Amino acid sequence: QSALTQPASVSGSPGQSITISCTGTSSDVGAYNYVSWYQQHPGKAPKLMIYDVSNRPSGVSIRFSGSKSGNTASLTISGLQAEDEADYYCNSYTSSSTRVFGGGTKLTVL
């Protein structure tokens, strides 16, 4: 199972919006609405930010939103804040009954 494709890095200034893409195939992202996004700060465990493509867990800021079109899912962060600087990973369930992560995207807040 190949990893989902994410950009290695993205950046934005405080207050701006950024979008991180996550491209898979018709066997994973395109087949199921079980796409989730995780935030990981250095030295910390990952934290669930978005699940089932576009749902936010309780306690996650409304600045975080998710969407999907075909085989590509996206995470958008609006009103960037310094605390958003972290690594972000997408994840999808697959037709092989496995889960696959993206390679990760490092977000830099300028």
Partner 1 sequence: EVHLLESGGGLVQPGGSLRLSCAASGFTFSRYAMSWVRQAPGKGLEWVSAISGGGGSTYYADSVKGRFTISRDNSKNTLYLQMNSLTAEDTALYYCAKGFNDYPFDYWGQGTLVTVSS
Q: Which two three-digit tokens encode residue 90? A: 């997408």
Report the residue from 13, 45, 62, 82 that binds partner 1 according to the rule CB under 8 A: 45
Question: Rounded distance, CA 53 to CA 55, Å?
Answer: 6
Report the residue from 20, 22, 28, 38 that binds partner 1 according to the rule CB under 8 A: 38
- Specify whether the CB–CB gap between 92 and 28 falls below 8 A: yes
Which range, of 22-30, 63-71, 78-86, 101-109, touches partner 1 by CB under 8 A? 101-109
Which CB, 15 or 103, lies closer to partner 1?
A: 103
Report the residue from 16, 17, 41, 52 that binds partner 1 according to the rule CB under 8 A: 52
Question: Rounded distance, CA 31 to CA 26, Å?
Answer: 5
Question: Rounded distance, CA 55 to CA 6, Å?
Answer: 20
Report the residue from 22, 75, 100, 109 that binds partner 1 according to the rule CB under 8 A: 100
Q: Which two three-digit tokens encode residue 9? A: 């890095």
| 101 counts as binding partner 1 under rule CB under 8 A | yes
Q: What is the DSSP letter of 82?
A: G
Which CB, 42 or 82, lies closer to partner 1?
A: 42
* Angle at alpha carbon of residue 47, lines to 44 and 50, rounded to 5°: 155
The residues binding partner 1 (CB under 8 A) are: 1, 3, 34, 36, 38, 40, 45-48, 51-52, 57, 87, 89, 91, 93, 97-104
